A and B are shown apart, each in its own frame.
Chain A
Amino acid sequence: QKEVEQDPGPLSVPEGAIVSLNCTYSNSAFQYFMWYRQYSRKGPELLMYTYSSGNKEDGRFTAQVDKSSKYISLFIRDSQPSDSATYLCAMSAQGNTPLVFGKGTRLSVIA
Chain B
Amino acid sequence: GAVVSQHPSRVICKSGTSVKIECRSLDFQATTMFWYRQFPKQSLMLMATSNEGSKATYEQGVEKDKFLINHASLTLSTLTVTSAHPEDSSFYICSAHNSLDEKLFFGSGTQLSVL
Chain A residues in the interface with B (C-beta under 8 A): 32, 34, 36, 41-46, 49, 51, 88, 90, 95-96, 98-99, 101-104
Contact = CB atoms under 8 A, between A and B. Distances in A.
A103 B1 contact: no
A32 B102 CA distance: 9
Contacts of B43: 88, 101-104
Interface string B3-42: 0101000000000000000000000000110100000001
A42 B108 contact: yes
B32 A43 contact: no
Contact of A44 (B42, B44, B97, B103): B44
Nearest to A94: B102
Given A96-B99, A99-B104, 20 more contacts: A36-B106, A41-B111, A42-B108, A42-B109, A43-B6, A43-B106, A44-B44, A44-B106, A46-B1, A46-B105, A51-B102, A88-B43, A90-B104, A95-B97, A95-B99, A95-B102, A96-B97, A98-B49, A101-B44, A104-B43
A103 B104 contact: no
Contacts of A88: 43-44
Interface of B: 1, 4, 6, 31-32, 34, 42-44, 46, 49, 91, 93, 95, 97, 99, 102-109, 111
Interface hub of B91, B93, B102, B108 (most chain A Cβ within 10 A): B102
Contact of B106 (A45, A95, A102): A45
A28 B34 CA distance: 23
Interface hub of B103, B104, B106 (most chain A Cβ within 10 A): B104
Interface hub of A34, A88, A99 (most chain B Cβ within 10 A): A99
Contacts of B46: 98
B108 A43 contact: yes
Nearest to A102: B43
Nearest to A49: B103
A77 to B, nearest CB: 21
24 contacts: A34-B104, A36-B106, A41-B109, A43-B93, A43-B106, A43-B107, A44-B44, A44-B106, A46-B103, A46-B104, A46-B106, A49-B103, A90-B104, A95-B97, A95-B102, A96-B31, A96-B32, A96-B97, A96-B102, A98-B46, A98-B49, A99-B34, A102-B43, A104-B43
